């Protein structure tokens, strides 16, 4: 982690000496995954997500929580949010929530796979996907660029999220048209 609290990021550069030991499997999270998810948060230098918040998200049909595993070990996770109302510049709709991968396995496509699964789920329900991000989180912005996310607005707060540094970005991607 950097001093900003975001993962260290060097574009197009994988950490040396790390390779994936096997294929990454993505599945729906269950209440049995809560301890592993909180452990990933802690190892990533983030405050662990509250147990009650995770349990609520896992049981909410309007949201998706997924975990990535390798050889039966949980190595990452991601979620979505659904806002039924607009809040200032932040539209109602489906939002990508956080995605977190164990630090030693970053830059190997785990976050990309978790994000693709969540976007497929959102685009099965809506024409647009949204996410909010701190402009200092270059790794996240670069990751999401491949799906066409573009900046829609800047604000100190979107829905319930306030930003370190006083400004955050609201990003949107439209569902790709079938060709």
CA atoms within 13 A on the CB side of 150: 4
- Phi, psi values for residue 93, rounded to 5°: 135, -170
- Phi, psi values for residue 75, rounded to 5°: -120, -10
pLDDT digits (tens, 9 = 90+) for 118-130: 999 999 999 999 9
- Does residue 17 belong to any structural domain of this protein? no
CA atoms within 13 A on the CB side of 107: 16
pLDDT of 6 reads 55
Q: Which domain holds residue 97?
A: 25-174
pLDDT digits (tens, 9 = 90+) for 93-121: 999 998 999 998 888 889 999 999 999 99
Residue 127: burial class (beta carbons within 10 Å; 0-12, 13-18, 19+) = exposed
- Does residue 12 belong to any structural domain of this protein? no
CATH number where 126 lies: 3.40.630.30
- Does residue 13 belong to any structural domain of this protein? no
Number of structural domains found in the chain: 1
Give the residue ranges of DSSP H helices in the chain: 34-43, 51-59, 110-123, 138-145
Query: Which residues have CB under 8 Å from 13's CB, separation 6+?
Result: 107
The pTM of the full predicted model, rounded to 2 decimals, is 0.86
């Amino acid at each position: 982690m950097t001093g900003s609290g975001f993962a260290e990021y060097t574009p197009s550069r994988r950490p040396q000496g790390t390779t994936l030991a096997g294929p990454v499997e993505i599945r729906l999270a269950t209440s049995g995954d809560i301890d592993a998810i909180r452990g990933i948060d802690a190892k990533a230098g983030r405050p662990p997500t509250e147990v009650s918040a995770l349990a609520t998200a896992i049981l909410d049909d309007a949201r998706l929580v997924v975990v990535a595993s390798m050889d039966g070990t949980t190595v990452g996770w991601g979620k979505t949010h659904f806002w039924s109302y607009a809040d200032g510049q932040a539209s109602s709709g489906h939002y990508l929530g956080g995605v977190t991968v164990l630090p030693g396995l970053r830059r190997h496509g785990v976050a990309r796979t978790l994000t693709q699964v969540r976007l497929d789920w959102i685009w099965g329900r809506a024409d647009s996907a949204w996410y909010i991000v701190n402009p200092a989180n270059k790794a996240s912005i670069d990751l999401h660029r491949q799906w066409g996310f573009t900046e829609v607005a800047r604000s100190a707060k979107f829905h319930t999220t306030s930003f370190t540094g006083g400004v955050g970005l609201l990003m949107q991607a439209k569902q790709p048209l079938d060709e």
